[in-house]
Structures are given as structure tokens and as C-alpha cells.
Structure 1
Amino acid sequence: MQIDFAVIGGSFAGLSAALQLARARRQVLVVDAGQRRNRAVDVAGLTSHGFLTQDGRAPAAIAAEAKAQLMRYPGVQWLDGSAQDAHVATDGRFAFRVGDLTVSAGRLILATGVRDELPPVPGLAERWGRSVFHCPYCHGYELGGGEIGVIAATPMAQHQALMLPDWGRTTLFLNGLCTPNDEERAELARRGTHVDTTPVLRIEGEADVVLADGRVLRMAGLFTQPRTSMASPVAAQLGCAMVDGPMGPFIQVGATRETSVANVFACGDAARATGNVALAVGDGVMAGFGAHRSAMF
């Protein structure tokens, strides 16, 4: 199969990038493995927030409507599956495989997303997207100003613990994974964040923190710092330069979302240190613009 533009990843960033190319009357293929990063929110029956006109809608509903709108454009093709064995072909185009099908594309947009690895606290992963989160702007308001716990996994825990008092009374559980110095403790105290040094044994109930000294602290919600990794091997297979971010590596991009590999662009969570739905959509717009303009000029 030969195509002008291939977008690998059909979540919010990839849908947005493909839409720009479709509206430029270009032929575009979207390859989607069906693994949206925020799919746990749908499973938990919660909704997405902070995205204009879509605040309070289920992520799956937003994505489904976006796909339906995209597929109205005649130049768009959709392929379910994972892209594998990506490389630069002898003709200078890009080749990759989806199942038994080999795709040849003139330009690639990588919207492949990331995987989240949570700290090994029993009960934490089961509540991911339901009562355990990583983004205060996405989920903090819905906790109603109640008790919020931060389960430390990386030094970023202190950053979260300084932010979250705007959303509720906050306790930072160090859990042996970070040690604030005197200056940092003073700053946490200034923000009203309580610091608890007792190890966390497990999470129970909705968001109850069971501590090693027998205390059980009931929280409205918990935040932690997952370690992220690329959800697809394609960027590495193509040799795209990476940046080591505070949560994990992400693809290095320029202003128009171009990578270190000519005619390869990247957008969404795979190409930024942190993200949300609105940022992914904006990234997709820039990647679509960048890929289209690279074909013109």
C-alpha cells in the first residue's frame, strides 16, 4: 500500500493531525492500535475535563465523534493494528508493516502515545483513572476540595504536593522514595501540605491509604507520578532523537513538531514531557501543518 501521509496513532493527537491533512485534500492513512492512554477513565465511568466544549464528556465519546468527523473526508483511510518494523526504504520513503500489510508513506506523523508504569504500591494500579491520577488540572476539581494524598514515586511528588493544595487539603506520603530538605519542607508547610514519613502498605476502598503504623487515612483521591515509556517502537526504529523528561523519555521535536529524522513529525504525549487532551489536539494541528508544508516547500 502506498500513501502520501501516514499517521501512526489514532487518539486525540493523531486524529487532529489527520484532520489537517484531510482538509488540505491530501491522502492520509491513520493506523491505530486502539490503546488510548486515558482509556482507564472510560472504564471507571469518569469523564475528561479542561477541553473547551468537551468538558465533562467521556474520552471515548470525544474520540469516537472525532473519528466519525474525520472519516467523512474522502482522502482518509483507517487501519486498525500496530505499526511494526518501521524503516527508511531504498526509495527514500518510509515503510512499515501492519499485520500482513506493508505500507509505504512519503511522510510520517507519530502520535503513538506513552505507557504509564505506576509505583508498586498494592491497590494503586487497580484504582488508576478512578481515584488515582497524575494531572491535577484534569481531575483535581472533581475531588470537591476534600482530602488529597500524594504517593511519592519520584522527586516530582514534591512538585505535585506544592500544586495540589489549590484543590484540597494535601498530604505527601514520602514512602521512602523522596526526602525533602529543610528548605523544601518549609515551602511545603507554607502551602499547607502535610508530610507523612510512614511507609504506605497498600490502598484500600475508594482511596484509603493504609500505613505501616496501622493508621488508615481516607482520601477523596490520590495522585502519583507514573514513569512513562514509548507505547510503540516506531520512533526508536526510525532513529528519532529523544529527550529525557521528568516522567520519562519523549520524542524531540521542533516548533512545527518535526523530529530529528527528515519528513517524520511527532505529536501528543509521545512528544512532550506532560500532556492532556487539549494539548494533544493542539500538537496534532501543528504536526499536520508541519507535515503538509514540508511537502509543499
Structure 2
Amino acid sequence: MDIDVLIVGGSFAGLSAAMQLVRGRRKVVVLDTNQPRNRFARASHGVFGLDGKSPAEIRATALSQLALYPGFQLVEDAAVGVEKLRGGFEVAAESDAVYRAKKLILASGITDQLPDLPGVKAFWGKSVIHCPYCHGYELSDRPLGVFATSELSFHQAAMIPDWGATTLFTQGQFNPEGEVLGHLIDRGVVLEETPITNLLGAKGQLQAVLLADGREIPLEGLYVSPKAMLASPLIRMLDLALEDSLVGSIVKVDAFKESSVNGVFVAGDLSNPMQSGTFAIASGTMAGVAAHRSLIFNK
């Protein structure tokens, strides 16, 4: 096998893994469709040294640096099949190309399952967001809301007042009680039980929400907690063990990002219960180092 490590996914996690491996003088191929989860955001915030740069700009910079290493190759293609072989893996691409590698890193990210709410896609990643550390500062001191999708939204609503006046929209389904309710009240969170039926605004900027009783409430930022969908078919084909997290199912890995299948490492949002660009970069670094060590010590 002439490829040491095949990486599926070329965003923050996958390219971070690739950097460790090519610097270890290994031959690496990255399969990527350039459809990262963060493509809807204008900028990536909170990433050390890269704050405010667009996801596309960060990716382009990383690729320009990786291209200087002779062991690196980027292929714009989708991985659609995988088979475990003696001593490695065979991955089939959508273009009918076949790649054989000693180790495999999955870093293709997840798909966000957004609430079934009219208008949400038009604002997603701009003024409808999920992470205050990633995008909250830019919405500071504006009227903010949290769209309840589970009891996890109570925790989210308790955080957001640090950025602005916050309303928790329970949708009439998720109603806090007891100490949780008391904490939200102490934090100044306003509860609204009437469901949101539409989002109002223009050019990605939310301006108000329309409620089922006809009221319009001014709002310039709405937080939601989408469910994570594991879109890669390779996870099922490899029968990787999964585990539950607050965002949904993720791939179960050990401290070195190795999955339940020896030689398969999983980085980024596929295996991270806490998800951000910084966490993706860190987990990709770990997966790259661990895959390199696996080539040396566990042939």
C-alpha cells in the first residue's frame, strides 16, 4: 500500500491531522468534497490566531501550507465505500477511483438537523446560531432568543444573558421547573410559551420572530441546538461503535481518537461531544499523531 493514511474530510480536523502526518514524512491523501459544516458562517471566531477569518480562507491557507510537503495530496471526491483488508483499508470514491491505505482517519464532519421552522435556513450561521463562543460576541447587546429543542436548551438559555437580553422560547413543549426555572429567572431570562411560527428579516439578519398568536417580537439573534446527523456511509460500513452525546450520536473513540476498529481514527465533530473550530483542530492533531504512532508501533 503506497498510501500511509487516507483522510476522509478536508476541513479543520482533517487538514490538522494531515499536517502532523506529512511532517512525519508520511504519504497522505485527503478526500474532500469541500462542503464543511461551517460553510454557512461568514467568519470563524474564537480560533486562536485566526479569529475573524472566514472558514474558506482558513482552509485555503492550510492547503497552501500542506502543498509544500511532498507527501500531501488533496483529491476532490467523496468516499462512498470502504473495505477492511489485511494490513489496511480500501476506500472507493464516487468517481470510481479506489484508494488503499494502511490507516484511515474519518473527519468528514456532521450534518446539522435544523428545527422545522420556516425561514431558519436563510439565517443559519449568520443570526441563527448554536455556539455563543463562535459567533455570540458579534450579536452582543441585541435582543436574543433561545429556541428550545430539548432540556439542553435550558442550559443554553442560562448562558446567553452574558451577551444580551435573552428570551427562552419554550415552544409550549419544553418548560423548565424547580431549580432550573429559578436559575433562569435569576439570570434575567424571559420565558415565552407561545410557539414561534416564522422568522422575519433580510439578507441573513434576523429582525423579529412571528408567534402563533400573531405577535411579533423583535429579535436579532436566535440560538438553536440542532441534532447531529452522521452522514458518512463509512461509519455504518465499518460498524463503528457509537455513543450518545448532548448533540446526538457520535463515534466512540479512545483518548487517542481511535475508534472501535483498529486503525480507524475519527476526528472533529464526528467524535467530539463539544464542537467548535478549535476543538476540531485539536482532535485532528491528536488523530494525526496517533495514526503516525500506530504506523510505527502497531504495524
TM band (smaller chain): over 0.9
Once residues 145 and 138 of structure 1 are traced to their aligned partners in structure 2, the CA distance between those partners, rounded to angstroms, is 16
Output the aligned Cα RMSD. 1.2
Moved more, 23-32 or 238-247: 238-247
Partner of residue 191 from structure 1, selected from 164, 184, 187 = 187
Gaps of 5+ in 1: none
Tell me, yes or no, if structure 1 residue 242 matches structure 2 residue 237. Answer: no
Once residues 235 and 33 of structure 2 are traced to their aligned partners in structure 1, the CA distance between those partners, rounded to angstroms, is 15
Tell me, yes or no, if structure 1 residue 7 matches structure 2 residue 3. Answer: no
- One-letter amino acid matched to 1:235: I
Give the Å deviation of 1:179. Answer: 1.8
Give the Å deviation of 1:37. Answer: 0.5
Once residues 187 and 83 of structure 2 are traced to their aligned partners in structure 1, the CA distance between those partners, rounded to angstroms, is 50
Give the Å deviation of 1:244. Answer: 1.2
Once residues 12 and 176 of structure 1 are traced to their aligned partners in structure 2, the CA distance between those partners, rounded to angstroms, is 38
Once residues 84 and 177 of structure 1 are traced to their aligned partners in structure 2, the CA distance between those partners, rounded to angstroms, is 39
Corresponding residue number in structure 2 for 1:106: 102
Q: 1:31-70, aligned counterparts within 5 Å? A: 31-41=31-41, 46-70=42-66
The Cα offsets for residues 39-85 of structure 1, whole Å up to 9 and x where unpaired, read as 011xxxx2110011111111110111111111110011111111111
- 4+ residue segments displaced more than 2 Å: none
Moved more, 253-262 or 175-184: 175-184
Corresponding residue number in structure 1 for 2:215: 215
- One-letter amino acid matched to 2:113: E
Residue pair 1:149, 1:172 contacting (<8 A) in 2 also: yes
Q: 1:62-81, aligned counterparts within 5 Å? A: 62-81=58-77
Give me the TM-score of the superposition, normalised by structure 2: 0.95
Count of residues paired in the alignment: 292
Once residues 284 and 82 of structure 1 are traced to their aligned partners in structure 2, the CA distance between those partners, rounded to angstroms, is 19
Corresponding residue number in structure 2 for 1:266: 266
- One-letter amino acid matched to 2:64: A
For residue 38 of structure 1, give the secondary structure of its aligned residue in structure 2.
Answer: helix
Once residues 230 and 33 of structure 2 are traced to their aligned partners in structure 1, the CA distance between those partners, rounded to angstroms, is 13
Corresponding residue number in structure 2 for 1:149: 145
Gaps of 5+ in 2: none
Tell me, yes or no, if structure 1 residue 288 matches structure 2 residue 288. Answer: yes
Residue pair 1:259, 1:265 contacting (<8 A) in 2 also: yes
Tell me, yes or no, if structure 1 residue 124 matches structure 2 residue 120. Answer: yes
Partner of residue 175 from structure 1, selected from 171, 176, 190 = 171
- One-letter amino acid matched to 2:5: F
